[in-house]
Amino acid sequence: MSTQIWQKELLRSIRSLTELKAQLTVDLPYPVNTNFPIKITPLYFSLINKNNPYDPLLLQVISPKVDALSDFSEAPLKELEFNPLPGLLHKYAGRVLVMLTGACMIHCQYCFRQHFSYQDQSISKLHWQNIINYIKNDVSIFEVILSGGDPLVANNNMLKKTIDSLANIAHLTTVRIHTRVPSVLPNRIDNGLLEIFSQSKLKIILVTHINHPNELCDENMAKIDLLSKKTTLLNQSVLLHKVNDNYDTLAQLSKQLIQGNIMPYYLHQLDPVSGAEFYNVSDTKACEIHQQLVSQLPGYMVPKLVREIPDRKSKSALT
């Protein structure tokens, strides 16, 4: 199979702090965490203000070093307790999550899976058959969530095979895909992918992970427009210190999402993962910001403020 435009673009990603510093026009006035490797797509980098070390997009892909916090750990969600088969998580009623790939288009330094051992979860042919059998044997499961990593790193051939084999399970109605692709590598939204979505008999819900309005530009909004004609679009943001922890930014984000037919869905409190301490926002501040959104925006523009608690079988609302 020939290399696609998006794959060539991905090869031009920034992959190290040295490379990044060489392309910024300002020195970074803080030390940077280097545990989780840097990876920044060309489109995302083009949206960063190269002269601002506190640019809200830059701060998502490098994390200033701060002191460790005692309640932060490498596995904040204890996902391995809900891992009946390699590549499969089953925690919530009616839904299972499949980790299609461990790779991502971009590395978000607040990522709760930054220490996750994806090697132990890689899905061989046999594992995939076991996952299909697991879903077939539990008629309460109606939705499969494709996650990762970023599931849209998989090529169209693999995605089609995956979605087609899920569509053969009678009690499944929905495939949900969590991805940063629409904002960070919009060229991945090619005709082949749109065709897979429009031809599937399963309902396709795509959850974009967009944290700041500056992540949206004409190029990715055009692809989001195409996606909105084939899928239901929701957005999930993480509340991040110095990135989006204020009313103005989140209100603007909600307005732009609605323009792109994306429903603001969740505003997530950070999962307390080691290495992401810089991004921590107190619950008090989170609730204050959320209250401002509630009081000043129409309801459909206000995402739910939630956090994930490892042993709870649903997300927990903070307000």
> Where along the sequence are the contacts to ligand SF4 (CB under 6 A)?
104, 106-108, 111, 113, 148-150, 180
Residue 158 or 294 having the CB closest to ligand SF4: 158
Shortest distance, position 238 Cβ to ligand SF4, whole Å: 8
Residue 116 or 197 having the CB closest to ligand SF4: 116
Among 278, 266, 246, smallest CA distance to 319 is for 266
Residues 259, 220: Cα–Cα separation, whole Å: 13
Beta bridge partners of 232: 205
Contact 224, 256 (CB under 8 A): no
Residue 113 or 230 having the CB closest to ligand SF4: 113
User: Helices (DSSP H) in the chain: which residue ranges?
Assistant: 5-11, 17-23, 42-46, 58-61, 125-136, 156-167, 181-184, 191-199, 218-228, 247-259, 283-296
Q: Which residue has the tokens 């909105």?
A: 228
Residue 241 or 301 having the CB closest to ligand SF4: 241
Shortest distance, position 81 Cβ to ligand SF4, whole Å: 19
Residue 38 or 106 having the CB closest to ligand SF4: 106
The radius of gyration computed from the CA coordinates of the chain, to the nearest angstrom, equals: 19
- Find the helix packing angle between 191-199 and 156-167, rounded to 10°: 0
Shortest distance, position 118 Cβ to ligand SF4, whole Å: 10
Residue 108 or 257 having the CB closest to ligand SF4: 108
Shortest distance, position 149 Cβ to ligand SF4, whole Å: 6
Residue 111 or 189 having the CB closest to ligand SF4: 111
Contact 240, 64 (CB under 8 A): no
Shortest distance, position 216 Cβ to ligand SF4, whole Å: 17
Q: Measure CA of the first residue to CA of the last residue in the chain; give whole Å.
A: 49
Residues 98, 100: Cα–Cα separation, whole Å: 6
SS3 53: coil
Shortest distance, position 167 Cβ to ligand SF4, whole Å: 25
Beta bridge partners of 238: 268
Shortest distance, position 116 Cβ to ligand SF4, whole Å: 9
